[in-house]
Amino acid sequence: MVLQAEESLITTSAARRVLVATAVPAERDAVARAFPGPAEDVPLPGAPLRRTATGRRTATGPDLLAAGVGPALAAASTASALTAAALAGDPYGLVVSAGIGGGFPPEAPLGSLVVADAITVADLGATTADGFLPVTELGFGTVTHRPPAPLVRAAAEATGARVGTVLTVSTVTGTSARAAELRAAHPDALAEGMEGFGVAEAAAAHGVPVLEIRAVSNPVGPRDRAAWRIGDALAALTEAFGKLAPVLESWNPHDD
Ligand SMILES: O=C(O)c1cccc(C(=O)CC[C@H]2O[C@@H](n3cnc4c(=O)[nH]cnc43)[C@H](O)[C@@H]2O)c1
């Protein structure tokens, strides 16, 4: 009986602890603005963790990590945070990859939100005379992680986000030709970012579910950095997390 109670406490605590990994501090701070109240920085190898509070006495907000740009650094930083929490006996129950991103027009316009039902790495594999071969066709690993469908639905309903594939790329798309190539290979793609797959790999290694949400700052296509609407996308990210907070707080993987 005592054991059962302890197990249920552990399950509840694991289900409620959420780690949000962004690429850069500006994105982390945009998420943090949705969780006003005292926050503390917890040192970790790699990037420090910002522990937020909701301002309510009973609940804490997510831990936020500016995990770095690109899938490799994002995976390493996320894995550090997950391992530290697990070793401390207080593991995370969910990891969210969040940030600004490129949107495929016209489905994902500037300022809109995309929640991933598939987190797919677009450029992990080999080029051949016959085209690109994903790493899975070389006999290795995985190219897609799938967030829990009920959580994706709940997140999209709460935030008004579109649902589709979010691609992870190591090289930001900068031409119409590459955008068309990606679209042909991934017809369900709505957005691209540089970290989602790395964050998802780290989460999968720990057996923790993952979610990815992107606020569109620029179209995927010809590079025009001056036209990126970063401020609008960061504001959309803050608003999204304000609406997402109750979903993340109440989500229990055992309900799925
Ligand atoms: O300059 C700033 O003030 C600033 C503030 C917040 C974020 C940034 C970034 O440059 C973030 C880089 C981050 O954004 C993602 N991203 C955005 N657009 C794309 C894209 O078209 N293709 C791929 N990734 C994109 C990406 O995840 C980067 O890590 C600057």
CA of 160 to the centre of ligand 1 (A): 22
Which CATH number do you get for residue 152? 3.40.50.1580
Cross-strand pairs, 95:
19, 210
Domain that holds residue 183: 2-255
Choose one of 173, 217, 218 to mutate for the ligand 1 pocket test, by most ligand atoms within 8 angstroms of C-beta. Answer: 217
Ligand 1 atom closest to the CA of 234, numbered from 1: 6
pLDDT, position 55: 46
Nearest to 96 by CA among 219, 240, 236, 235: 240
The average pLDDT across 100-126 equals: 98
Please say whether the beta carbons of 161 and 114 come within 8 A: yes
Instruction: Count how many domains the chain has.
Output: 1
**pLDDT, tens only, 146-171:** 999 999 999 999 999 999 999 999 99
The model carries a pTM of 0.92
The average pLDDT across 56-85 equals: 89
CA of 73 to the centre of ligand 1 (A): 15
Nearest to 244 by CA among 163, 154, 118: 154
pLDDT, position 10: 40
pLDDT tier at 138, thresholds 50, 70, 90: very high
Whether the link from the prior residue into 209 is cis, omega within 30° of 0, is no
Beta strand 40-42 with 49-53 is antiparallel
Report the pocket of ligand 1 as residue ranges, CB < 6 Å.
23-24, 26-27, 69, 99-102, 169, 172-173, 192-195, 217-218, 220, 230
User: Residue 114 pLDDT more than 80?
Assistant: yes
pLDDT tier at 11, thresholds 50, 70, 90: very low
CA of 54 to the centre of ligand 1 (A): 27
Ligand 1 atom closest to the CA of 169, numbered from 1: 23
**Whether complex ipTM tops 0.90:** yes
Q: Could you give the CA distance from residue 99 to residue 235 in angstroms, rounded to a whole number?
A: 11
